[in-house]
Amino acid sequence: MTEKAKYGHKKMVVWNNLDRIEWMIQRKIMNYIPKNLFKLRDQIDRAASSCCANFIEGYYSGSRKEYVKFLKYSKRSLAELQYWVEHIYKKMLIPKGVYLEFDDLCIKTMYLLNRLINSLEERAREGP
For residue 106, give the CATH number of its domain: 1.20.1440.60
Give the model's pLDDT for residue 111. 98
Domain membership of residue 81 (yes or no) is yes
Give the model's pLDDT for residue 126. 80
Task: Reduce the DSSP state of residue 128 to 3 states and report it.
Answer: coil
Distance separating alpha carbons of residues 117 and 75, to the nearest angstrom: 10
Predicted confidence band of residue 4 (pLDDT cuts 50, 70, 90): low
Domain membership of residue 37 (yes or no) is no
Chain segment 52-110, per-residue pLDDT in tens: 999 999 999 989 999 999 999 999 999 999 999 999 999 999 999 999 999 999 999 99
Instruction: Supply the pTM of this predicted model.
Output: 0.91
Number of domains in the chain: 1
Dihedral of alpha carbons 7, 113, 17, 25, sign: negative
Q: What does the pLDDT average to over 17-25?
A: 98
Q: What is the DSSP letter of 10?
A: G
Domain membership of residue 106 (yes or no) is yes
Domain membership of residue 24 (yes or no) is no
Distance separating alpha carbons of residues 1 and 68, to the nearest angstrom: 27
CB 3 within 8 A of CB 59: no
